[in-house]
Structure 1
Amino acid sequence: MRKYIPNQHGAWAMLILPFLFGVAASGGQWIHIPLFACWLLIYLFSFPLLQGVKSGKFKRYEKPLKVYGVLLVPLVIYLVIAEPVLLWFVLPLLPLFAVNLYYAKTKNERALLNDISAIVAFCLIIYPVFYVGQGESWRTATELFLLAVLYFVGTAFYVKTVIRERNNITFYYGSVGYHLLFAAAGLFIFPSLLVPLLILLIRAAIVPKTGISAKHTGMIEIGFSLMLYVSVLGLYF
C-alpha cells in the first residue's frame, strides 16, 4: 500500500483545510463533492508520479498511476463540462508542480522551496472551491488563502525543527521568529484569530524541545489544523 497511499500525515491537512476554507467562504454546493473527489485523486496520482520521477522506476508505480488515472479522467471530464472556467484555475498550478518535479528528479524533496511550492499549490484550491460555491466576497477568499499559506509555511519551518533541523538552533529561532511575525500580522489581518495564532507560536517554541517523533508530529498537526478551521468558522464568519 506504500505505493498507493502517501505516508506524509501532515500533507492530508494541506489537502483538506484549504478546501474547507473555500467551502466556508462560499457555502456548500453539491458540486463540491465531485470537486473534492477530483482534488483527492489528483493528490493520490501525483504521489506515485513524483516517486517514479525520483527513482526512475516508473514500472514500480505503474499500477497506482493506472488506478488513479482511470478514476480521475471521468471526474475531470465531468467537472470541465459542468464548469469550464475551472480550467483557468489549473494554470497557476502547472509551474508550481514543475518545481515539485524538479526537486523530485534531483532527489531534494525536503528543500524549503519545494515545500513552499507545494503549499501554495494546495492552498490555491480555495479559489475554484469558492467559485463553484458561488461565493460573493473574493476578498474573504483571498484572506483565507493568505491565512492557509502563512500557516502551512510556518508548519514547514516548525516540522523541520522537529526532524531534519532538530539540532539547528538558528533554524529553531527562525521558526519561532516566523510564528511571532505571523501572530503580529494577525493583529491587523486576522484579529479575531489571535488566540489560535498565539497557540501556534507556543507550539513552535515548545514542541521541538520535547523530542517528539516525526510520525506523531504529523498526527498532532492534523489537530492544529482542525483548531484553525474551527476558529475560522467560529470567529471569522
Structure 2
Amino acid sequence: MRKYIPNQHGAWAMLILPFLFGIASSAGKAIHIPLFICWLLIYLFSFPLLQGVKTGKLQRYAKPLKLYGLLLVPFVIYLIIAEPALIWFVLPLLPLFAVNLYFAKTKNERALVNDISAIIAFSLIIYPVFYVGQGESWRSATELFLLSALYFTGTALYVKTIIRERNNARYYYISVAYHLLFAAAGLVLFPPLFVPLLILLLRAAILPKTGITAKRTGITEIGFSVMLYAAVLILYF
C-alpha cells in the first residue's frame, strides 16, 4: 500500500484546506464534487510518479500510476466539457510541478524550495474552485490564496524545527521570526484573523521547546488547520 497511499501527512491538509478556502470565497456547487475528486486523483497520481522519478524505477510504480491515471481521465474529460476555462488554471501548476520533479530526481525533496513550490501549487486550487463556485470577489480569493501559501510555508518551517532541524537553533529563530512577520502582516492583510495568526506564532515559539514528537505534531496540525478554517468562516466573511 505504500506505493498507493502517500506517506506525507502534512500534504493532506494542503490538499483539503485551500479547496475549502475556495468554496468559502464563492459558494458550494455540485461541480465541486468531481473537481475535488479530480484534485485528489491528481495528488494520488503525482505521488508514485515522483517516487518513480526519485528512485529511477518507474516500472515499480506502474500499477498505481495506471490505476490513478485510469480513474483520473473521465473526471478530466467531464470537467473540461463542463468548464473549458479550467484548462487555464492548470498552466501555472506545470512549472511548479517541474520543480518537484527536479528535486525528486536529485533526491533532495526535503529542500525548502521544493516545499514552497508544492505549497504554492496546492494553494492555487483556490482559484478554479472559486471560479466554478461563481465567486464574485477575486480579491477575496487572492487574499485566501496568500493566507494559504503563507500559513503552509510557516508550517513547513515549524515542522522542520521539530524533526530535521530540531537541534538547529538558527532554524528555530528563523521559524519564529517568520511567524512574527506573518502575524504582523496579518494586521494589514487579514485583520480579522490576527488572533489565529498569533496562536500560530505561539505554536512556533513554544512547541519545539516541549519535545513534542513528530506524530503528535501531525495530529496537532490538523487542529491548527481546522482552527484557521473556522476562523475564516466565522471572522473573515
Secondary structure at the aligned position of 1:26 is classed as: coil
**2:180 counterpart of 1:172:** no
Task: With the length of structure 2 as denominator, give the TM-score of the two structures.
Answer: 0.99
In the other structure, the counterpart of 1:103 is: 103
C-alpha displacement of 1:9? 1.2
| 1:105-145 C-alpha deviation (Å, 9 max, x unpaired) | 00000000000000000000000000000000000000000
> Using the alignment, how far apart are the partners of 2:122 and 2:172 within structure 1?
25
In the other structure, the counterpart of 1:65 is: 65
Aligned residues with identical type, % of pairs: 81
C-alpha displacement of 1:216? 2.2
C-alpha displacement of 1:201? 0.3
**2:14 counterpart of 1:4:** no
C-alpha displacement of 1:217? 1.5
Secondary structure at the aligned position of 1:4 is classed as: coil
Runs of 4+ with >3 A deviation? none
* Mapped contact 1:154–1:175 kept (Cα < 8 A): yes
In the other structure, the counterpart of 1:184 is: 184
> Using the alignment, how far apart are the partners of 1:173 and 1:44 within structure 2?
34
In the other structure, the counterpart of 2:14 is: 14
Q: 2:27 is aligned with what amino acid?
A: G
| 1:25-62 C-alpha deviation (Å, 9 max, x unpaired) | 00100000000000000000000000000001112111
> Using the alignment, how far apart are the partners of 2:153 and 2:177 within structure 1?
13
C-alpha displacement of 1:224? 0.5
Runs of 5+ in structure 1 lacking a partner? none
> Using the alignment, how far apart are the partners of 2:75 and 2:34 within structure 1?
7
Q: Point out the more displaced range, 206-215 or 88-97.
A: 206-215
In the other structure, the counterpart of 1:194 is: 194
* Mapped contact 1:8–1:218 kept (Cα < 8 A): no
C-alpha displacement of 1:219? 2.2
**2:90 counterpart of 1:90:** yes
Aligned residues: 237
Q: 2:163 is aligned with what amino acid?
A: I
Runs of 5+ in structure 2 lacking a partner? none
In the other structure, the counterpart of 2:230 is: 230
Q: Point out the more displaced range, 53-62 or 211-220.
A: 211-220
* Root-mean-square deviation over aligned CA pairs: 0.6
